[in-house]
Amino acid sequence: MTTQRSILIVDDHPLFREGVKTLISRAPGFTVIAEAGSAEQAGKLALELRPELILLDLSLPDGKGTDLIRYLSAELPQSPIVVLSMHSAIDMVAESFQAGAAGYIVKESAGESLIQALNAVSRGEQYLDSAISPKVIRKLMEYSDRKVRMTESSYDVLTRREQQILRMLAGGASTRTIAESLFISRKTVENHRANIMSKLGLTTPLDLVRYAMRKGLIAIDDSAPPASSGQ
């Protein structure tokens, strides 16, 4: 029997939520356990139900979507967040990933990208919708490059275990995979991840992957283009 990963949908439009639920119901492996129409409701439901995945719109009636992402990322670090937004501008995309989102989908292409994104973030990867213009993607990558160049000399400040986990994270390994491989708890992996990001001055998984590429820790060919399954 296929394991069903639980999903919380956060969007203030009931008809859109219903459409997303229909799409998810047609794909194996996922089930919607709750819906929220506001940031306040989303926060309460997320902490109560602890969904395995969160689909979230940036435009909410009672708060900024990226603020909610930061909150949920801190409270539920093992629940990846995928943004479903009508916006595809570079500042919205970049701010979402900086806040802690694991994926970004433009609403107009959600039917094609939604399940791909859910599968990608479930594997511990990052997903960026291919509908987002190549120009935006280039700017996002250039932004990550600038951050990496500012932190290139900081690798030696990591402990040997942090360096090991950094390579595994950059290679696309999930928290569960790393924990099982190193015989440590998922919480320990999350703590190491937080320490690594802090020491290197990075804020998103994309920054981490680009850092690892420039340091030669992983081969560039090993990483999928950001416009498909993400890093």
Confidence at residue 226, expressed as pLDDT on a 0 to 100 scale: 40
CB neighbour list of residue 14: distance below 8 Å, 6 or more residues apart:
37
Q: Which residue reads 């937080």 in tokens?
A: 194
Model confidence at 99, pLDDT cuts 50, 70, 90, reads confident
Which has more pLDDT, 92 or 151? 92
Q: Span 83-87, mean pLDDT?
A: 88
Domain ranges of the chain: 5-131, 140-222
pLDDT for 143-167, tens place per residue?
Answer: 554 444 444 456 778 888 888 898 8
Mean pLDDT, the chain, integer:
81
Residue with more model confidence, 76 or 134: 76
Provide the pLDDT for residue 134.
55
- For residue 188 the two structure tokens come to 């320990």
CA atoms of 83 and 99, how far apart (whole Å) = 11
Least confidently predicted of 35-49, 97-111, 198-212: 198-212
- β strands within the chain, DSSP E: 5-10, 30-36, 53-56, 59-60, 63-64, 81-85, 103-106, 127-128
Of 32-41, 118-127, 166-175, 218-227, the least confident: 218-227
Supply the pLDDT for residue 54: 97
pTM value? 0.61
Res 34: pLDDT? 96
Residue 13 backbone phi and psi in degrees, to 5: -110, 105
Contacts of 15 (CB under 8 A, 6+ apart): none
- The percent of residues above 90 in pLDDT, for the chain, comes to 30
Instruction: Tell me if 118 sits within 8 A of 142, measured CB to CB.
Output: no
Please give the CATH topology (third level) of the domain spanning 140-222. Answer: Rossmann fold (3.40.50)
pLDDT score, position 213: 72
How wide is the angle at C-alpha 19 spanned by C-alphas 123 and 50, nearest 5°?
A: 45
Kindly tell me if the per-residue pLDDT of 123 is higher than 90: no
pLDDT at position 140:
59
What's the CA gap between 190 and 202, in Å, rounded?
Answer: 15
Distances (CA, A) of 160 to 53, 155, 157, 196: 31, 10, 9, 11
More confident residue, 15 or 89: 15
CB atoms under 10 Å from CB of 117, counted, come to 27
Look at residue 124 in the predicted model and tell me its pLDDT: 85
Task: Dig out the tokens for 225 from the structure.
Answer: 């283009």
Tokens standing for residue 59: 């435009």
**CATH fourth-level superfamily of 5-131:** Response regulator (3.40.50.2300)
